[in-house]
Amino acid sequence: MLRNILRTSRCLARRQINRPAAIAIYKKPIRNIFKSYVTTSRQFSASSQDISTNLDPLVYDKICTETLESLYEYFEELIDQSPNLKGADITFSDGVLTIALGSNYGTYVINRQSPNRQIWLSSPTSGPKRYDLILENGGYWIYKHDGKTLHHLLQNEISKIVNDADFGKCSHALL
């Protein structure tokens, strides 16, 4: 529709029709189309941004740090206790937690995304996911596309590698 309006206005301009009159005719529809587009864009993005825009940055930072540190400590414990993960390596620096479980299992990367107020996960099994913070029940991280929590996904995937994995012990876990 916008393309037709612009094409018509160019035709009017070539025929030397009164330009102010042509602009006045098409100004309102263009504004309405733009307004509709902006409204639609906000509706699609509102669901993912409602939480992040209303969340206090200090609260996000505190819960995110607690979550990542807790996961770091728990993965260290799992790696130390599991004989099949002897070559595994874990690092935590600048908000990025990297868990290299070896060539058989792949590498997990869990990191903070402060601008979006999310935690991002890259899994060798399930791929990339973006988790939003829900402040109910002490705070937990949820992937909105499937409704599963960060700790639930880790529980499912890591328990296939380590039999007695229990991510319910970690901070801000909701299984």
Give 5-47 pLDDT, tens digit per residue.
Answer: 445 545 444 555 455 554 444 444 444 444 443 333 333 333 4
CB-CB contact of 130 with 118 (8 Å): yes
Cα–Cα distance for residue pair 113/106, rounded to 1 Å? 22
| pLDDT tens per residue, range 41-97 | 333 333 444 455 578 999 999 999 999 999 999 999 999 999 889 889 999 999 999
Among candidate residues 144, 72, 168, the one with its CA nearest the CA of residue 112: 72
Report if pTM > 0.95.
no
The residue count of the chain comes to 175
Please give the DSSP secondary-structure letter assigned to residue 102: -
Q: What stretch of H or E contains 35?
A: helix 19-54
Among candidate residues 171, 150, 155, 143, the one with its CA nearest the CA of residue 62: 171
Question: Any idea of the CA torsion for 165, 167, 168, 172, to the nearest 10 degrees?
Answer: 170
Give SS3 for 18: coil
| N-to-C CA span, the chain | 48
